[in-house]
Structure 1
Amino acid sequence: MRTRLLAATLTALAAVSLAACSSSGSGSSSGSGSDKATSAAGSPTTSATPATASATAPSDAATTPAAPAPGSAAPTADGATGAPVPDAGASGAPAPAKPAPPADAGLPAKPGTDLTAKLVSALDAIDPAIVGGKPDQAVDRARNQCQSIYQSPKDKQKLADLANQRFTSADHPQGFGPDTAAKINEALLATLCPPPR
């Protein structure tokens, strides 16, 4: 039994020595391997198993690049894989929500002198009491009405109601009525308001 164990130990050590010599390329003779085997034979406590022999064998994994897994793209010299960039819509992720418009969307900037004169003239053509000699007040009301037209361009009834609430005078505290309100909205669209969406 001891002889068999000794023979197995010597065989394993010889295999380890040969593997080490062939992988290092040191060119040492095979005699050195047998010397190591002989010195190991003199020590009865040394027992190498095939598992130990494989554990002590040098690994070439550090020097050879690993092959890419099947189905994956091989990396290129610049680190890119060459794989197509996934499309956000194809991934099944929901599309980003449309951002809400800013609070001042549709509110035109304060008009210059020429545009103010054009707006006042258009409103005076409908009814001089709409401006009532207060062009700055008429411009402020017109700008706010433009914002409402921008936000609800198809709701004619709502826009007429808002025009009647905004454009009032001492003689018309409830506004100028639905027909005049519709004409005010048309005049604002023709002069001051940005085009509706």
Structure 2
Amino acid sequence: MRTRLLAATLTAFAAVSLAACSSSGSGTAASGTTGSPTASATSAASTASAAASTPAADATTAPTPAAPAPATPGGPASGTSSPGAADAPNTPAPPKPAPPTDAGLPTKPGNEATAKLVAALEAIDPAIVGGKPEQAVDRARNQCQSMYQFPKDRAKLVELANQRFTDAGHPQGFGTEKAEKIIDALRATLCPPA
């Protein structure tokens, strides 16, 4: 009987020591509620005396005190988000990346596609190509890029076509009517579909 009483007393002392240590820094008791170290020690002592009055099967078995609840001082409560977190509703969306500088610029066409393009341009006016098919292809590719950038601004596209497709006899371009036909021919032969 004395051995059991001694074991219960030591267990109570250990519980009081643990309760005092865990509550000295955060002001919380072993059960996770706020309280003073004295209240924790009193509850631990009552637990130990209850264990001493109950006969135990083995003198070395002692009740284990409850572990203190982990606390994160200064941290956000669970279920909340900190400012700037990915799931925060007030975080602005990242800006859209700028399109690449070659967006809408078709690749250099092969021989067959070049022949179709040159034939379409010469059908409008032979002076548009003027015996320089490579130059006409470069101008057409640049016009395709403008068509990609300004798909709904037909007036702008006509203006750019008149700036690009020039020759000695037509330094200001081939006019609105032919510029419209150039745009249509490029859509049919070289420019990627919009």
TM-score by length of 2: 0.59
Mapping of residues 17-36 of structure 1, within 5 Å: 18-21=8-11
Which of 54, 57, 60 lines up with 2:41 in the alignment? 54
Q: Deviations over 1:30-88 (max 9, x none)?
A: xxxxxxxxxxxxxxxxxxxx94x9399885316xx77xxxx968xxxxxxxxxxxx995
Aligned residue pairs total 138
Q: Which residue of 2 aligns with 1:113?
A: 111
Provide the secondary structure at the position in 1 that maps to 2:139: helix
Mapping of residues 61-72 of structure 1, within 5 Å: 61=67
Gap change, CA 1:16 and 1:183, over 3 Å in 2: farther
* Amino acid aligned to 1:127: D
Q: Identity rate of aligned residues, in percent?
A: 61
Provide the secondary structure at the position in 1 that maps to 2:95: coil
- Structure 1 runs (4+) greater than 4 angstroms displaced: 55-59
Q: Unaligned regions of 5+ residues in structure 1, if any?
A: 1-14, 25-49, 74-85
Gap change, CA 1:16 and 1:105, over 3 Å in 2: farther
Mapping of residues 11-160 of structure 1, within 5 Å: 18-21=8-11, 51=38, 54=41, 59-61=65-67, 88=87, 91-160=89-158
- What is the CA–CA distance in structure 1 between the aligned matches of 2:114 and 2:141, rounded to whole Å? 11
Q: Deviations over 1:119-151 (max 9, x none)?
A: 001101101110011000000000000000100
TM-score by length of 1: 0.59
Provide the secondary structure at the position in 1 that maps to 2:193: coil
Which of 173, 176, 181 lines up with 2:174 in the alignment? 176
Provide the secondary structure at the position in 1 that maps to 2:151: coil
Does the 8 A contact of 1:150 with 1:195 survive in 2? no
* Amino acid aligned to 2:66: D
Gap change, CA 1:19 and 1:183, over 3 Å in 2: farther
